[in-house]
Chain A
Amino acid sequence: MKIHQAIIARLFFSAAAAMVFLMPDVAAAHLVTTGMGPVYDGIGHLLLTTEDLVPAIAVALYVGLRGKALGRRALFSFPLAWLAGGFAGLMITCTLTFPLPMLSFILLGGLIAADLSLPDNIVSTLVIVVGITHGFYNGTTMEGGPGISGLLGITATLFVLIGIASAFVVSLQAAWTRVAVRVAGSWIAAVGLLMLGWLVKGAGTAVSFFIIVICTFFFTVPNTQAVEHGRLIVTKGRMIDPAEETVDKNVEILIEDKKLSLVTEDTIAREDTDLVVDANKGVLECNFN
């Protein structure tokens, strides 16, 4: 009887607790405000920002794989480096566009996946560099927000995070558990690679050129396969009249579902376009009439 009463009491308690969590809160569509002050705002900022959280976890996983000594070093050096970088970021007013999270994902994820055994000093330097750079980025965004108190909240959270995660990895004994950590690293690196793809998507930047060169090194890519795309725009085409009765025209061509849809001297809207190809003044021979 008593057992049943205990069961009912606990179920009621659970239901009540669940109800509390299910209560919708008022939306506050502005900066991270936990309502508990800037320190908690900083904690919330770290825990809700995947660009910072994942690299921090990755650092913990990597130093954990490298053993107790490095784990202990990182426990203090990483949060302090983050704090130092954050202070610097708070003092310098600038807008940063460098894709730091992407680099961190690829670098740290790759190191974890490969379980690469680097010299201790290099690992410590790497940990500090990651801490300073991410801290700096945080600092620049926190000037108008939680400020120094927020940074302290982040630092404390990092200390706990590194402590728990790296200690957990250090404690892993079975071979498959270390492999699981390495698999997690490979996933982080894979996400980083995808972020790189998103970064250079459709951009004719030096970075994408560099990637294309690397890809071309591994794969020969025939251009004719571009017709597989649903909506294809060919830019900078030159349309000439074989009869030479009219002057050449620079045109853009729209191909939809493998059919020629539009040839125009105007710019075709790029929305919902799968591929834009630069014809580089390639010639389209046709009758203007």
Chain B
Amino acid sequence: MKKELRYLNSIVCLLMLAGYLFFTPSAQAHIQQGQAVSLLTGIEHPWSGLDHVLAMIAVGLWGAQLGNPAIWILPITFPLVMSFGAMMGLIGIPLPGIEIGIAVSALVLGIMILGEVRPKLIVSAIIVGCFAIFHGHAHGTELPAGQSGLLYSMGFVLATGCLHAIGIGIGLIHRWPIGKLALRGSGGLIAAMGIFFLWQAMV
């Protein structure tokens, strides 16, 4: 009985929350227009390309495979350096071979997971950081005009963080022997996809 009521309370809370999220307050014109659109565009952007998605999930997977402290150092490094790359793109500093760099990121990170490579923390952070520059630059040059930069950036960073979190979440299977194998297998899959992206970028 009590259990049922507890479930019911949860449902009530969720319904209230859903209702609150649909709440439409008055328009407030002094706040920039298109804020919600900007946030949603920012959230959507990192998910728009499979190469980006795989590389960012791979960062989380590799971090989980390496364990503490890489599990949190890598996901901190990636968004920070990625923002730096995006900033370069925004101010118009060109970067050679962006698409190739992104494809190579999926390939290298996949190989790292496949081989369960354990370099020093600083080396793994540098590897992730270098690739983050390419990903960030690609996003930076594609930031749409006329939208709220702040909200777009927040959505963009949040979505990237969520992709890392998904990678870390999946990577937690590493604690079981079968999980270790599955993780290495997923690394192989990511590396294979990286080769495909590389081939696409080259032709």
Contacts and interface: CB of A to CB of B under 8 A. Distances in A.
Q: Does B associate with A?
A: yes
Interface of A: 3, 6-7, 10-11, 13-15, 17-33, 35, 44, 48-51, 54, 101, 113, 176, 179, 182-183, 186-187, 189-202, 208, 211-212, 215, 219, 221-223, 225-226, 228-229, 274-276
Contacts of B29: 29-31
Contact of B80 (A7, A32, A186, A201): A186
A17 B16 contact: yes
Contacts of B93: 212, 215, 219, 221
A223 B94 contact: yes
Given A27-B27, A28-B27, A191 B19 contact: no
Interface in B1-26: 1, 4-5, 8, 11-12, 15-16, 18-20, 22-26
B141 A211 contact: no
Given A3-B4, A219-B95, A225-B96, A18 B83 contact: no
Contacts of A15: 15
7 contacts: A33-B26, A194-B86, A197-B83, A197-B140, A198-B150, A199-B149, A201-B90
A21 B23 contact: yes
A190 B79 contact: yes
Contacts of B94: 221-223, 225-226, 228-229, 275
A198 B153 contact: yes
A182 B90 CA distance: 26
Main secondary structure of the interface of A (DSSP, over half): helix
A229 B94 CA distance: 9
Contacts of A44: 28
Q: Max chain A CB contacts within 10 Å: which of B30, B98, B150?
A: B150
B26 A28 contact: yes
A94 B23 CA distance: 36
B19 A25 contact: no
Given A32-B30, A187-B157, A194-B87, 16 more contacts: A20-B19, A22-B19, A22-B23, A29-B28, A33-B26, A48-B31, A183-B75, A186-B76, A190-B82, A191-B153, A193-B87, A194-B149, A197-B89, A198-B150, A222-B96, A228-B98
Contacts of B98: 228
A182 B76 contact: yes
Interface string B58-94: 0000000000000010011001101110111111111
Interface of B: 1, 4-5, 8, 11-12, 15-16, 18-20, 22-31, 72, 75-76, 79-80, 82-84, 86-98, 133, 140-141, 143, 149-154, 156-158, 161
B153 A225 contact: no
A76 B166 CA distance: 39
Nearest to A194: B153
B8 A197 contact: no
B12 to A, nearest CB: 5
Contacts of B30: 30-32
Contacts of A200: 90-91
A20 B20 CA distance: 9
Contact of B16 (A14, A48, A215, A222): A14
A25 B84 CA distance: 41
Contacts of A32: 28, 30-31
B83 A21 contact: no
B65 to A, nearest CB: 17
Given A18-B18, A225-B96, A51 B87 contact: no
Contacts of B84: 193
A187 B24 CA distance: 28
A190 B92 contact: no
Nearest to A18: B19
A161 B143 CA distance: 32
